Chain A
Amino acid sequence: MGLKILTEHINVPGIETLEVYRKHGGYKSVEKALKTMSPDEVVEEVKTSGLRGRGGAGFPTGMKWSFLAKPEGIPRYLVCNADESEPGTFKDRWFMEKNPHALIEGMITSSYALGANTSYIYIRGELLFVLRILEKAIAEAYAAGLLGKNILGSGYDLDLHVAPGGGAYICGEETALLESLEGKRGNPRNKPPFPAVKGLFQSPTVVNNVETISAVPWIVNNGGAEYAKIGIGRSTGTKLISASGNINNPGVYEIELGVPVEEFIYSDQYCGGIWKGKQLKAVVPGGSSVPILPANLILKTAAGEDRLMSYESLSDGGFVSGSMLGSGAFIVFDEDQCIVRNTWNYARFYHHESCGQCSPCREGTGWMEKVLHRIEYGHGHQQDIDLLVSVAKQIEGNTICPLGDAAAWPVASAVRHFRHEFEWHINNPKEATAPGAVYRGQLDAVTA
C-alpha cells in the first residue's frame, strides 16, 4: 500500500471525535502554524509542496493563495467548497463523514495563512447528515479553544460555520457558490474581478476544495518539500480517487499520484478488475465532465507508454487521445454498456443543472439532450452526429462559467471515440433499441 496522508487513521474507531483525533496527532499543525510560523511562511510551504486544487481544476494552491488581495480594514474569507456534485465524485462526502476534524484542522491552518477571521464550509444541501457531523465536530473544537477568540493563546481569532446549499450542481463553481452563500440563486459571476479581489460580500476570498484544505496540515507538519517528494513530476502528493461503475470494488482510494491506470483498474488493492469478469470498454477518469476514453487509450498514452494516474499523464495527447484527472472520479464502463445511452444520461444531467444564465449553455445542453435521446431511441438521422459536434463546439468556451465546457466535452469525446456506435444506432434502430442491445464493434477493435 502507498503512503496515506489523508486516510492513515480514517478507519480508527471514534476518529470523528476530537479526543480520538487528537490522540492520533490531530491539530498539531494548528499548534505549529499559529505558534511558530507567520502566515506568509505557511503560504510558502504550501507553494513549495506543489499542492494542486483537488476539486477538478488542478490549479496550484499556493499560487492561488498568494493572489489574495490584502487591503487594510476589509475582512478576508476562506470558503471551503464542499458542494461535491460531479457525477462519479463522492470522495469529499466520504472523507468529511469519516474524518470531520481533518477538514476543520485544515480550515484553521489555512484561514490563519490567509488572514481570515471568519470562514465557511459550503456543503451541498443533499448532505445535511454530513453537515450535522461537521457542526458537532466544530462545537467540540470551539469547546477546546481551537476555534473562537485567541486560539490556543496565539492571539488569532477564527469563527467557522457550515452553510448548506439547496441542490444545484452549478454551486460547485466558485462564483456561483459565493452567490449562493450570499442567499441568492447560484448564477456564476463574470470574472474579473476574481474572488481573490472581490469574493464573498465583495471581500477578498479564497475558495478551496475539501481535499485540498485537508492536505494542508500534513504539509505544515512535515514541510512542503517532503510533500513535493511524493507523487510524480508536477503531480505531487496523494489524491483521493472515487471509483465507480462496473468494477468489483467501488469506493474511495488514496493513491500516490503516478500509479499506473492498469494497476488501478485491475489490482485487488484498488478496483479489483471489471465486474462479473467482463471486458473493459471505456473509462471516464475524472468525473462526468471530462472526456471519455476507450479501453486502449485509457491504458496507454499517445506515446505508447503506460498511462498513469497523474494530471499530466491522463491529459497526454490533449483531447484527441487524452482526458483529465479532474476531481479524481474514475467511472468504469464494461462491455455491456451503451455509450450513446450514457452520453444521453450525462447530457440530461447538464441540461438539468444549467443555471440558464448563458444562452449557449441553456439552449445547447437541451438540444444535445434531445438529439441524443432520439438517436438512443431509434429516431436519429445521419446528420445528427455532426449536429451534436457542432452544438458542443458552440457551447464550449462561450459561457460565463465552465459548466458549458463540462457539458460539451462528454458529448464531443463520445462522438470522437465511439462515432461508429452512434452510426450503428441510427442505421439499425430496431436492433439498437432492443432491450440490452449494445454495439460491440469498438470493443472488438480494442481487444483484437
Chain B
Amino acid sequence: MAETINEVKFSDAAMAEIQRYISHYPEGRQKSAILPILHIAQAEFGGWVSPEVMDKVAEILNIQPIEVYEVATFYTMFNLKPVGKHVLEVCRTGPCCLRGADQIIDMIKQKLNIEEGETTADGMFTLKPVECLASCGSGPMLQVRELFYENIDSEEKLDEFLETMRTKEHETPVWKK
C-alpha cells in the first residue's frame, strides 16, 4: 500500500465516478459525497481504507483529513485494516438467528479456523459478523461485497458456498465496466 498521498492514485474511471457524486450536491457542499467516495476507495484499494487513502479523499474533497477519519471510523462498512480477498459479512441479528445464523457462524469459524474479525492464513477469507442486512426473510444469509447469499441453512450449502468463493473473482466495480 502507498505510503504517501502522492502514491495513492484513483483510476480514471473511479475519478470520473467520484466527480459525478460530487456534482450531486450544491456548490460548497462537496463533503456530502464522502460516503460514496469511501465506498469507491475501498473497492479500489483492496477492500480497506488506509490512512493514506483517507488523506487522499480529504484532498479530493478539499476538507481536513480528520473529517474523513471521523466518518470512516463511525460507519461499520469501512474496513480500517487489511482484509482477505472475500469478507464474509454474516448477519447475526434476531430473525437470522431464529433460522440458525449462530450455527452458521460457528461452522465458518470451524471450517476456516478463524475467529470473528480474523483472516485465513491464505488471505482468502475474513469473517465479519454484522448486524441486520435487510434479508430477514431469507436467513441465514451473508454478504460479500455487493452481493447477498441467502438461505445458507445447512452445512452442505455452506460448503458449496465456500468452495464457489475460493475460485470466484469479484465482479468488476460498476464504474469500470
Contact = CB atoms under 8 A, between A and B. Distances in A.
Same complex for A and B? Answer yes
Contacts, number: 144
Contact of A345 (B32, B74, B97, B134): B97
Contacts of A128: 39, 146
A323 to B, nearest CB: 15
Contacts of A251: 137
Interface string B38-50: 1100000000000
Given A126-B143, A245-B98, A288-B94, A164 B136 contact: no
A311 interface: no
A126 B95 contact: no
B136 A89 contact: yes
Contact of B94 (A186, A252, A331): A331
B102 to A, nearest CB: 9
Interface in B123-137: 130-137
Interface in A73-100: 75, 84-90, 92-93
B35 A125 contact: yes
A389 to B, nearest CB: 21
B170 to A, nearest CB: 13
B93 interface: yes
B78 interface: yes
B94 A337 contact: no
Contacts of B34: 183
A169 B137 contact: no
A365 to B, nearest CB: 13
B117 interface: no
B70 interface: yes
Given A183-B35, A242-B137, A201 B71 contact: no
Contacts of B139: 244
B26 A88 contact: no
Contacts of B35: 125, 163-166, 180, 183
Given A242-B137, A251-B137, A352 B131 contact: yes
A86, A125, A166, A201: residue with the most chain B Cβ atoms closer than 10 Å: A166
B120 to A, nearest CB: 23
Given A182-B32, A201-B29, A166 B38 contact: yes
A300 interface: no
Interface string B148-169: 1000000000000000000000
Contacts of B172: none
A350 B10 CA distance: 36
Interface in A88-135: 88-90, 92-93, 118, 120, 124-129, 132
Interface in A147-177: 159, 161, 163-169
Contacts of B76: 166-168
Contact of A183 (B71, B136, B137): B71
B98 A126 contact: no
Contacts of A183: 31-35, 61, 67, 71
A223 interface: no
A337 B29 contact: no
Nearest to B174: A132
A21 interface: no
A348 to B, nearest CB: 8
B95 A349 contact: no
Q: For the side of the interface on B, what is the size category?
A: 35 or more
A87 B92 CA distance: 10
Contacts of A166: 35, 38-39, 71, 74-78
A337 B94 CA distance: 11
Nearest to A246: B98
B71 A169 contact: no
A198 B134 CA distance: 30
B147 interface: yes
A242 B136 contact: yes
Nearest to A331: B95
Nearest to A288: B94
A149 to B, nearest CB: 15
Contacts of A120: 24
A129 B147 contact: yes
A281 to B, nearest CB: 11
B136 A161 contact: no
B138 interface: yes
Interface string A212-224: 0000000000000
Nearest to B97: A345
Contacts of B93: 87, 288, 345-346, 349
List the 9 closest A-B pairs by CB distance, nearest first: A166-B75, A167-B77, A250-B137, A183-B31, A244-B136, A167-B76, A244-B95, A161-B24, A183-B34
Interface of B: 24, 26, 29, 31-36, 38-39, 61, 67, 70-71, 74-78, 92-95, 97-99, 130-139, 143, 146-148, 174
19 contacts: A86-B132, A87-B131, A89-B136, A90-B137, A93-B134, A120-B24, A129-B146, A164-B39, A166-B39, A167-B78, A183-B34, A242-B136, A244-B139, A245-B95, A245-B136, A288-B94, A288-B132, A331-B95, A342-B98
Given A180-B35, A331-B95, 4 more contacts: A128-B39, A185-B74, A245-B98, A353-B131
